[in-house]
Amino acid sequence: MKPFATVDLSQPKLPPQNLEAEQSVLGAILLDNQAMPKAMELLVEENFYRTAHRKVYRAMLDLSDVGEVIDQITLTERLKAKGELESIGGAAFLAELVQSVSSSANIRYHCKIVRDKAVARELIHTSTEVLTKGYEGTTSIDDLLDFAERSVFSIAQGKLERSFTPINDIIKESLDLVDKLSKRKEHVTGVPTGYYDLDDLTAGLQPSDLVIVAARPSMGKTSLALGFATHAAIHAKAVVGIFSLEMSKPQIVLRMLSSEARVDSHGLRTGKLQKEDWWRLAEAAGRLEQAPIYIDDTGGITVQQ
């Protein structure tokens, strides 16, 4: 990375773009309509740099939405109906797109090039906004950091591929999973919570599951969740991350120690413990020290952070 003082921001530069890749994408769709779903997984209208290309792709999306075949004739009529045919260069421009490719075999590769260039342009635009706000000095540093984080996160989310998978592939994958699980001796196929009745009902915490613990205030939600975390880390060797918006790290650890050592939490808070409590506490501390548990007690932390 260049030192800030040596970066020349005064010279205008052409934004990142690859017009040949854009033409190849559009030409491939005109050549083979089966390429359209692949393009839709990766690209949106705004990803195209050239205005004419954006208009053509928008017209293609319109035709796809109503189940129409996408070819030179239907595309010409669609653009003509929208009053955009002449602005893109007429029917001759569409003919050039078809001639720009010989097959649709590389459609996904070309789409990724177009998308990556679009992401680079968005990053440059966001960086310019952050730079401008930083120079103006009218925005607090916390708000500026939040703006930068949200903007970059939004760009990263937009870059995620939308993956449509044929159901026959998913069925095979699902049956393979069932076969794999059937060969396991354990009743709990996921990460055990330590609460046997719950594990019997759910077969443990499963990958991609979102589990929400909900109850009225002071009903033990935090204790239950920390119980899940402790058991998963100590007994299942699962890596656990804990984000706390209210309790501090020491408060969380004291609760975990109390539960793992079976020691009254009031005794921990007051320091009034029996001799046997100290033994159990030391053993529990040893187990927790080896557990892959990570705690963040940053107040007001955002999802982006």
The catalytic residues are: 246
User: Cα–chain-centroid distance for residue 260?
Assistant: 34
By CB neighbour count within 10 A (0-12 exposed, 13-18 middle, 19+ buried), where does 277 fall? Answer: middle
Distance CA 12, CA 4 (A): 17
For residue 138, give both structure tokens: 């009218």
Which distant-in-sequence residues (6+ apart) come within 8 Å of 287 by Cβ? 234, 260
In angstroms, the CA 39 to CA 24 distance is 11
What is the distance between the alpha carbons of residues 122 and 115, in angstroms, rounded to a whole number? 11
